[in-house]
Amino acid sequence: MTPDPMLAAAAALLIGDERITDASGGAYEHVFPGTGTVNATIPLAGAEEIDAAVRSASAAQREWAALSPGRRHDLLRALARAVEADAETLARLNVHDYAVPIAMSPGQGAMLVRFLDYYAGWVDKATGEIAPVAGSHDINMIQREPYGVVGVIVPWNGPLVGIAMAVAPALAAGNAVVIKPPELAPLAPVRFGELCRTAGLPAGLVNVVPGGPAAGEALVRHPGVGKIHFTGSGATARKIAVAAADGLKPLSFELGGKSANIVFADADLDRAAGIAAFMGPLTQSGQSCACGSRILVERSIYPEFQERLVHAVRNASIGDPFDPSTQMGPVISQSAADRILGVIKEAVSQGTGRLITGGNRVGGPLADGYFIEPTVFADVPNDSPLARIETFGPVVSVMPFDTEDEAVAIANDTEYGLVAYAHTSDFARAHRMVRRLQAGSVWINTFSDIQPSGPYGGYKRSGYGRLGGIEGLHEFTQVKNARITFDG
């Protein structure tokens, strides 16, 4: 594959107005998962660069806060236009990062634009409150203020999505940010940092410091950081909670899931099968937090639905992520491929359900990349590891149910609660599903489509805090009450 000229430009750290290519965290040979070959050498942040980034953010935040709301609004809109104009480069870098198919990649840049435009709109509209004080004519004047510097730690699966959802509201609320992408997917985030500069945002308002766990921990522990927003796994979230405990630092977490996708017999079955395949093994090869990895099907349509699902999955084109016709690419790394194939092998050897399609690594011209066939198991017990542990690969479980109560009980019988899907043509049942499913987002007859006006986040171990809507703006503010007396 011909190296993309944008790769070298994006292999850097952005701190203040500096572009750093030699950093104290060392260098990382970044591998393109589609071919298993190195496509860039990434400088990694260590504690030194994290400290420099936080200092630069802190200085820029004072400058940002001193601007009028109108000016901040205009600059965020200018950033949205810069992202829009750069859509093609951002999309390609996103593919180089983690091999998301190019057909899907532009959607993430578009999401970034939507979040920037939406939150730019809040800059001059967010208001406070006046509350009376009992027994006097004093008033409580309640307002929201930024934390100062916010650390935004994003995962490799959709770093631009994580940036859209957290950075746009954090900036709109008046904060500066230090974005820490992982070494596995740093390229598109760095390009976004460059766009922040060209759009005219104060230097240092958005710093981008790719790095591994040590850099993340340094950011969490830095006393100059007022708040951490983290998107990633529950295991890392627990470490972050421990590290943040020292400074009693506020946290918000967007974590994983083991989401149920319930298909009732009265649903539009073709549409439901398409969504089950798309939001199951196909989207990002199942490496999506919103993966509907447990597909619950009403018994009267159970065999028929399996056929439709297998048909949809087998018809998906797997291949070169840069080919516009590709619907499913590889998984992120050799070790992820080994782990996922191990999960499949274990399920087969334990007799956990019936493997009805997939289960193998893809060979032929794709053998050097980390491609795994979309894999479906039927008759999976909900108490099996396959149904309980987030596989984070193209593997889904199908299970039957007889009644609505049973479907809800199975769906909610998980430690996670990020999203839930239900397919039905019964209006009243749709409303019951919204009420009864324990998840931060319930999608009825549709797929997971995160929009800036809809708060997104998890119940239970899928996290806390919400991104999107006014809740997303509030996530990056702290409340101040000023009492003003008129006595004496």
Note whether 440 and 252 are within 8 A (CB): no
Query: Which parts of 168-259 are beta strand (E)?
Result: 176-180, 206-208, 227-231, 251-254
The CB-of-432 to ligand NAD minimum distance in angstroms stands at 25
Token output for 233: 């796994």
In the complex with ligand NAD, the residue whose CB is nearer, 149 or 407, is 149
In the complex with ligand NAD, the residue whose CB is nearer, 171 or 225, is 225
Is 471 annotated in the active site? no
β-bridge pairing 251-254 and 463-464 = antiparallel
Choosing from 183, 254, 373, 475, which is the catalytic residue?
Answer: 254
The CB-of-161 to ligand NAD minimum distance in angstroms stands at 7
Q: How far is Cα 48 from Cα 26, in angstroms, rounded to an integer?
A: 12
Note whether 375 and 394 are within 8 A (CB): yes
Enumerate the β-bridge partners of residue 467: 456
The CB-of-249 to ligand NAD minimum distance in angstroms stands at 12
End-to-end distance of the chain based on CA atoms, in angstroms? 78
In the complex with ligand NAD, the residue whose CB is nearer, 231 or 424, is 231
The CB-of-114 to ligand NAD minimum distance in angstroms stands at 16
The CB-of-337 to ligand NAD minimum distance in angstroms stands at 14
The CB-of-220 to ligand NAD minimum distance in angstroms stands at 5
Q: What share of the chain is helix, strand, coil (3-state, %, to 5)?
A: 40, 20, 35
In the complex with ligand NAD, the residue whose CB is nearer, 319 or 452, is 452
Question: In this structure, is the dihedral angle defined by the CA atoms of residues 110, 111, 112 and 115, taken in order, positive or negative?
Answer: positive
The CB-of-196 to ligand NAD minimum distance in angstroms stands at 19
Q: What is the CA 52 to chain-centroid distance, rounded?
A: 26
Other beta carbons within 10 angstroms of residue 133's beta carbon come to 12
In the complex with ligand NAD, the residue whose CB is nearer, 160 or 240, is 240
Q: How far is Cα 332 from Cα 375, in angstroms, rounded to an integer?
A: 17
Residue closest to 155 by CA, chosen among 94, 206, 105, 230? 230
Residue closest to 47 by CA, chosen among 220, 177, 255? 220
Which residue is at the shortest CB distance from ligand NAD? 216
In the complex with ligand NAD, the residue whose CB is nearer, 180 or 222, is 180
What are the residues whose beta carbons fall under 8 Å from the beta carbon of 409, sequence distance 6 or more? none
Note whether 72 and 64 are within 8 A (CB): yes
Other beta carbons within 10 angstroms of residue 485's beta carbon come to 10
In the complex with ligand NAD, the residue whose CB is nearer, 165 or 205, is 165
What counts of helices (H) and strands (E) characterise the chain?
Answer: 16, 20
In the complex with ligand NAD, the residue whose CB is nearer, 61 or 462, is 462
Token output for 325: 């016709």
Note whether 449 and 460 are within 8 A (CB): no
Note whether 64 and 205 are within 8 A (CB): yes
- The residues binding ligand NAD (CB under 6 A) are 153-158, 180, 182, 212-213, 216-217, 220, 231-233, 236, 239-240, 254-257, 289, 390, 392, 418, 463
The CB-of-85 to ligand NAD minimum distance in angstroms stands at 26
- Which active-site residues does the annotation give? 254
